[in-house]
Amino acid sequence: MKTNAIVAGVGMTTFGKQLDRGLKAIGGEAVTAALADAGITGDDLDAAYVGNAAAGLVTGQESIRGQVVLRGIGLGKLPVINVENACASASTAVNQAAAMVSAGLYDCVLALGVEKLYHEDKRKSFAAFSGAVDVEMLQEFMAGLKKQADAAGASSAAEGAGEKRSMFMDIYAAVARNHMDRHGTTVEQFAAVSAKNSRHGHLNPRAQFRQELTVADVLAEPMIAEPLTRPMCSPIGDGAAAVVLVSPERARRLGIDKPVRIRSTVLHSGWDRGPDDEDVARLCVTEAYEEAGIGPDDLSLVECHDASAPAEVIAYETLGLCAPGEGGRLVEAGETTIGGRVPVNTSGGLLRKGHPVGATGIAQIVELAEQLQGRSGDRQVEGASVGLAHNGGGTIGTDAAAMCVTILSN
């Protein structure tokens, strides 16, 4: 979908473990910051789209999550649309908000992503991920993962999925083993993704983890599911991110001197497809490039859904940053670090910035918008002009359940 929506303001909390704060406090902080950044008040908003994936399971808040969060900072009356779409909840909220602004139905819209995943009972946190598959097929799905792990001699991956960790780490581990078998990708190359993102996250004051790691450090950490060590797996987290989208006319009236435009935003779900057919991510990427009138060579930077280190390697290939099978060598060569050909996850990515599921998609938009406006301090990408956000979630069969790709430019 082509859009003319302009980013008027962004706001984001620090991501991390916030057991002493609820959804209202976390979400309210991000909204207040975004409104201030846009130079408006809540009275200027026409509507709000609020992304959240797991509050029902983790906090017990169902049905009116967005209304509860916004009323906590005194915002009522306006239409509130609650958006739940797995890890793509927040990017879906942006997709819908941009559509309404571009259609001329709204002039000024808030998109918020907010999540609390940490809980005293870790099983509640992991249950939030186990529900992001077809639960009627869950036992069969888990048995398939165990069978694949056993066949590969992956003892850690053969037990504990969904109990000691998110079951999605076992999915990513299986994907990693397959990539290694097919393309010769090495565990050191996967570790290089985590090390690179740790360097970026070290420079991000809002990142959940800020310790710099080397490849050797990453490989020395505890094994989660072969070949993934702990730093190769994104952590759960609490946090929120918000963006205010306006029409070009409203942007002019607000006097925005460094406008960032959402050039395209594409949302699709997976489908039953052949093993050699393009997947939902490739479909979204192709459409997004076509609608924005650009290609991968035009990108200044990327925020991709690195829920695991191998997920980032595969994203390189999906986005056309390199040929299929070359993702490991791309990161190893330093092409995706700040100062490289196309920096990826300058925020630290999900691996270091953290992954509060319902907030992640807008956190990517916040990073890109600030980069395109030259506001990213020590991690600023020189001359940044075009950014892409790649955000997906859930699994059905062999494909993501939801995928959203958004392209922004200054």
Count of Cβ atoms closer than 10 Å to residue 36 Cβ: 12
Count of Cβ atoms closer than 10 Å to residue 271 Cβ: 12
Integer angstrom CA distances of residue 400 from 53, 85, 88, 220, 281? 15, 11, 10, 30, 8
Catalytic residue status for 268:
no
Strand partners, 82: 50
Catalytic residue among 87, 108, 233, 284: 87
Sequence-ordered list of residues with C-beta below 8 angstroms from that of 121, at least 6 positions apart, any chain: none
pLDDT in tens, 171-205: 999 999 999 999 999 999 999 999 999 999 999 99
Q: Which among 241, 220, 212 has a CA at the least distance from the CA of 351?
A: 212
Catalytic residue status for 233:
no
**CA separation for the pair 299, 113 (Å, rounded):** 25
Q: Which among 360, 404, 347 has a CA at the least distance from the CA of 113?
A: 360
All structural domains of the chain: 6-120+236-409 (3.40.47.10)
Q: What is the pLDDT at residue 150? A: 74
Q: Is the peptide bond before 205 cis (omega within 30 degrees of 0)?
A: no
Sequence-ordered list of residues with C-beta below 8 angstroms from that of 366, at least 6 positions apart, any chain: 10, 11, 12, 241, 243
pLDDT in tens, 70-100: 999 999 999 999 999 999 999 999 999 999 9
pTM for the whole thing? Answer: 0.96
Catalytic residue among 119, 179, 355, 390: 355
pLDDT in tens, 246-256: 999 999 999 99
Integer angstrom CA distances of residue 375 from 10, 115, 143, 368, 390? 12, 25, 47, 10, 21
Q: What is the pLDDT at residue 395? A: 94
**CA separation for the pair 279, 269 (Å, rounded):** 10
